[in-house]
Structure 1
Amino acid sequence: MASRPRKLRWYFSLRSPYSWFAYRDLMSKHPEVLDRIEWLPFWEPDEETTRLLADEGVTLPIVAMSRAKNFYILQDTRRLATERGLSDITWPIDRDPCWEVAHLAWFAAEDAGRGKDFVAAAHRARWQEGRNISEPEVMAEIATELGLDADVLANAHKDPELRRRGAETLAESAHDGLFGVPFFIHGRDKFWGVDRVEQFVKSVGATAAPAASAEKAPDPATHADQFPVGGDQGHAGGCG
């Protein structure tokens, strides 16, 4: 009897700076790993998605973030950005965001064969261009950039089928034991956080390889004024 293939996946979030750092690290050093693993989005659900999860008896491990942790993440993000030569990073201001807008749009882009390109564009829009990825108009703009149907991506959060798929993915994350992002799985082994990227890569037997298509990072710089305290109040449930 043939053995089942070992689970090989990562959960990413378009909200999390740590997920963005992990994506950039993999793109620049181990693009072959990104081609091998299953990509699954994670986000804090709105009321409708929460209801769908509750109907299936699923509760996500999401908790409110303390003020002290929020300040720490602002400081830590500056450090990690500087280490990666990211002088143009911006800390978005998210007021009452609906994360379904961007993450369900990912499903639509993935169906069109452009899921990975969408992640790159959404990260760039959020962390380098200061755009609000919870606005349907921004999803339409990204769709146009990628040559996709702008109406489909802009209205993905209104699509009942994409809602159902999104809820199923979040439920799967709970079954996988996810408690923060980025979150990597190789068989029974789990790796949480951007500082576990290399360990995950080593576990799957990959070797470092420069990415020819990776974005060239700008010169290192520290811009503390780009990280206002009144911005996004952190990532409930923890982040890596």
Structure 2
Amino acid sequence: MKPRRRPRVYFNLRSPYSWMALDQLERRFPRAGELIDYYPLWEPDAQLREALRERGAEVLYRPMSKAKHLYILSDVKRTATRLGYPLAWPVDSEQDWDLPHLAWLAARREGRERLLYRALVETRWHRGEPINQAEAVVKAADAAGLDGAALLTAARAPQTHAEAVDVLEAAYEDDIFGMPYFRIGRERLWGLDRLDEFVSALHRAHPDTEADGAARTDGSAADADPLAGVPTELFTKVGSYDIDTTGACG
């Protein structure tokens, strides 16, 4: 008999919905890091895309409209407020997302990917600083107690690129088209608003695991203007936080 596959969660360091969903998941299912396989998915460079094409695979993200982009800006603010998260809007100067995800893969080989992940999330969403540049990744890694320079070298190594092709191919085979995306058994669940179902399925699969409280709901009401506080330059940066997904049924 074929062994049953462990639950999977696909995440993206660019996506605010991915950030909030994974934080909520680990609050409500504390053994997530032990019992779930984490897979990064991002928009890779031409070299990685070509390697994927050679395997008959591709990235299933698609460009979004400006209207959808503006909706995401207001929805992210509303959702972060509802969940009680501090939110500092990052303004990315470039859209090269290979480096932070490759660094995560390199950190995973040392079993320290969770430390790097938390440092990158704090940099991007709590301080509003970029994470898709070499100096930013090194700084975040050093802050997490890792050797940032060594991690940067490992992120650029051929072994890491090979691992990147593997995880991107896995996303293609799992039909992953948006962030975050959860898989458990035959269940396929897309978006932050499907987290309840994923957590419930995890508890059914592991009834000895206790929840660590419900979702955070300590935020105040949203401002009358849903885009108040969003940096003006973000209004025209279509796709700054996601491609073809609102993190739910978009």
> Taking structure 2 as the reference length, what is the TM-score of the superposition?
0.85
Tell me which residue corresponds to 2:115.
Answer: 117
Tell me which residue corresponds to 1:169.
Answer: 167
* Residues 1:219 and 1:188: Cα distance change in structure 2 (over 3 Å): closer
1:164: Cα distance to partner? 1.4
Q: Aligned with 1:230: secondary structure?
A: helix
Tell me which residue corresponds to 1:40.
Answer: 39
Tell me which residue corresponds to 2:178.
Answer: 180
Tell me which residue corresponds to 1:237.
Answer: 244
1:226: Cα distance to partner? 3.4
* Residues 1:56 and 1:229: Cα distance change in structure 2 (over 3 Å): farther
1:33: Cα distance to partner? 3.0
Q: Provide, for residues 104-153 of structure 1, a one-character-per-residue CA deviation record: whole Å limited to 9, x for no partner.
A: 00011111111112211111110111111111111111221222221132
- 8 Å CA contact 2:60–2:175 kept in 1: the answer is no
1:154: Cα distance to partner? 2.5
Between stretches 48-57 and 97-106, larger displacement belongs to 48-57
Give the Cα separation in 2 of the matches to 1:167 and 1:217: 38
Q: Do residues 228 (structure 1) and 231 (structure 2) align?
A: yes
* Residues 1:229 and 1:73: Cα distance change in structure 2 (over 3 Å): farther
1:96: Cα distance to partner? 2.3
Code of the residue aligned with 1:137 in structure 2: it is: E
Tell me which residue corresponds to 2:201.
Answer: 203
Give the Cα separation in 2 of the matches to 1:217 and 1:203: 22
Give the Cα separation in 2 of the matches to 1:100 and 1:68: 26
Give the Cα separation in 2 of the matches to 1:107 and 1:28: 23
Number of aligned residue pairs: 234
Q: Provide, for residues 156-201 of structure 1, a one-character-per-residue CA deviation record: whole Å limited to 9, x for no partner.
A: 4422221111111011100011010100011221100001111011
- 8 Å CA contact 2:99–2:155 kept in 1: the answer is yes
Code of the residue aligned with 1:143 in structure 2: it is: A
Code of the residue aligned with 1:71 in structure 2: it is: L
- 8 Å CA contact 2:102–2:156 kept in 1: the answer is no
Alignment root-mean-square deviation, CA: 2.2
Q: Provide, for residues 75-101 of structure 1, a one-character-per-residue CA deviation record: whole Å limited to 9, x for no partner.
A: 110110110112x30221123221111
Code of the residue aligned with 2:77 in structure 1: it is: R
Between stretches 121-130 and 148-157, larger displacement belongs to 148-157
- 8 Å CA contact 2:21–2:180 kept in 1: the answer is yes
Structure 2 stretches lacking a partner, 5+ long: none
Give the Cα separation in 2 of the matches to 1:154 and 1:130: 21
1:218: Cα distance to partner? 8.0
Structure 1 stretches lacking a partner, 5+ long: none
Q: Aligned with 1:101: secondary structure?
A: helix
Between stretches 48-57 and 222-231, larger displacement belongs to 222-231
1:70: Cα distance to partner? 0.2
> Taking structure 1 as the reference length, what is the TM-score of the superposition?
0.89
Give the Cα separation in 2 of the matches to 1:33 and 1:139: 25
| Aligned sequence identity (%) | 34
